[in-house]
Structure formats: structure tokens, C-alpha cells
Amino acid sequence: MQAAIQVDRIIKRFGSRAAVDQLSFDVQRGEVFALLGPNGAGKTTVVRMLVGIIRPDEGRIAVSLDQSTTSTLPPEQTGYLPEDRGLYREVPVLRTLIYFGQLRGLTAGEANRRAHEWLERMSLMDRKNERLDALSKGNQQRVQLITAVMHKPTLAILDEPFSGLDPLSQEFFLDLVQDLKAAGTTILLSAHQMDLVERAADRVLLMNRGREILAGSMSELRRHLDDRPRVRLTIEADGNTQAVREDADVEDVTVEEEEIHITLRPGASVPSFIARIVSLVPIRSIATEAPRLHEVFVRAVRNDDRKADS
């Protein structure tokens, strides 16, 4: 099956600086594809080229959402949540949704029906006649997301959908991403919240300095970058973690309340480490764990920066 999006060696320059430099990737139909990178890596530039706000200076973008292939995204089949929110603040919520639904090809009646369905789902029905600027930032974000997906797009491009949201709202948006995928929507996601991306994405492309530095599924990224053993301990509230830190096989320790995330040196024996530590620290549970996306991200970017500096 042909990919929904194929990006082939695109370049975008601003003055003498290449914001995106020879970048290639594809997004398969029905998957959640995450575009990651530090600030200034070129992610938003890539998204803006995909949706046609700007054009690449070199390279090719091919879009195949149905039986045809084009160089631009068809509006009726595409949903776009921009990083910089762009709704009319003085317009009531329901009027805003109907207007954007019609822009995406819905009739006024169908836009009205779907707007009411989504407002009910988002717990915003009682706010439908209020101006957008009367809503909290989180609720404004919910309205913006409705405008991006109410026409049931084949492809949804979500640029920083979790930005500025509290943890409960982030979980709500993550559930929506998973619901969209279950309905068959292809999703390209750009975000900084690594724990949420790790739970949502099928594949990840990590950028730095406008280039790809790492790409693949989470298991592929972990194997490629870091195969050091990891252990997670849950300890008693009064447990002392000093013995863990001083163990000869321990390279790194992160403490989160009563959980300790431990990275051992390459080749270290997990059973031997556990046998030593259980007699020294009051432990409630023990589990091995894979590297988290945050660790993969930080290590890959630092390695790339060191190569560039040298």
C-alpha cells in the first residue's frame, strides 16, 4: 500500500541557514507518526511545508490519501491543528465551529450537527454561545481541535496538541488521538511531551539541526541507541537510596517519589544487582524497564551536537 505522505530530500532555507536539510520520511496510512526534536530543529517548518503554507526550496512531497497522488494536501481530507492557534476570539464557539466545518466542505446543517456532537463530547455544550476568549486556554484548545477533525479527515496533522494543557487535559487529548487512529485516521504528531508521544506513536522521527538523526519504532530506537539494563524499584517511604547510588554497577539514578529508575552499566547482571540491593533497601516491587523516550531523545541530540561541535 502506498504511503499517505512521502517526503523526499526536502530543503528549506531562510537566508543562509537551512532550517530543513535533505530530510526524507514517509507516513503510512492509519499510523501515528511523531516528529520530534528540540526547539529550532525544524519540526514546525516541516509541518508548514506539508500543509502548503510554505514550499520546499528543493525536494519533493507526495500525498496519497485516496487513489490519486498530489503535491498538496486536499483540504476536505486533511485536518490541521497549528502550533499557533488561529481562531476568531470574539466569535461564539458554535458559530466558529459551523464556519470551519463549511470551509472543510460540510453543509451548514451537517456542520451544525457535528459541532453539537463534538461539543457534547468535549463537555462544552453549555459554552456554545460564549465568545472564544471567554473560555480557558484548555477549552480554547478543545475548540481548536474540533475545528481540525469535525469533518472526519483522512489525515490529521497536529502540531503541539498538548502544549499548555494540564495533565488531565493532556490525557483527554491523548485518548482523542487514539480514538482517531482507531477510526482509521492517519496522524502526524509534533510534540514535546515525550511520555505522551511514547504512548501514542507507532513510529518516531527525531530531528536536530534540520536533519534526521534517528527514526523507527520505539523498540528500534531503544535498541539502536541504548541497550544498558534498567531496573525500576518501588521502595518504602523511609527507604534510603544511597546504597543504590553507590553500587558499582549503577550508572544513573532518577528518584520520583517512591520510585527509583536505575540505569546499569553495559553488561551488568540484573539478577546480581537485585540480589545485592534487596538486603540494603526496603523494596515493595522490582521490575525491569526499557529506556524511556525522554532518555533516547536527550542522548541522541547530545550525541549529534557533540559530532557537530567536533
pLDDT along the chain (310 residues), means of 10: 91 94 95 92 92 94 86 86 84 95 94 96 94 90 92 93 84 91 94 87 93 88 76 81 89 85 89 90 85 80 82
pTM: 0.81
> What's residue 1's pLDDT?
67
> What's residue 228's pLDDT?
81
- Sequence-distant (6+) residues with CB within 8 A of 275 are none
Q: Could you write out the DSSP letters of every residue in 89-138?
A: TTSBHHHHHHHHHHHTT--HHHHHHHHHHHHHHTT-GGGTTSBGGGS-HH
Could you give all domains of the chain from N- to C-terminal order, each with its CATH number?
5-223 (3.40.50.300), 227-290 (3.30.70.100)
> What's residue 259's pLDDT?
87
> What's residue 239's pLDDT?
67
Residue whose cell numbers read 536505575? 262
> What's residue 288's pLDDT?
85
> What's residue 75's pLDDT?
81
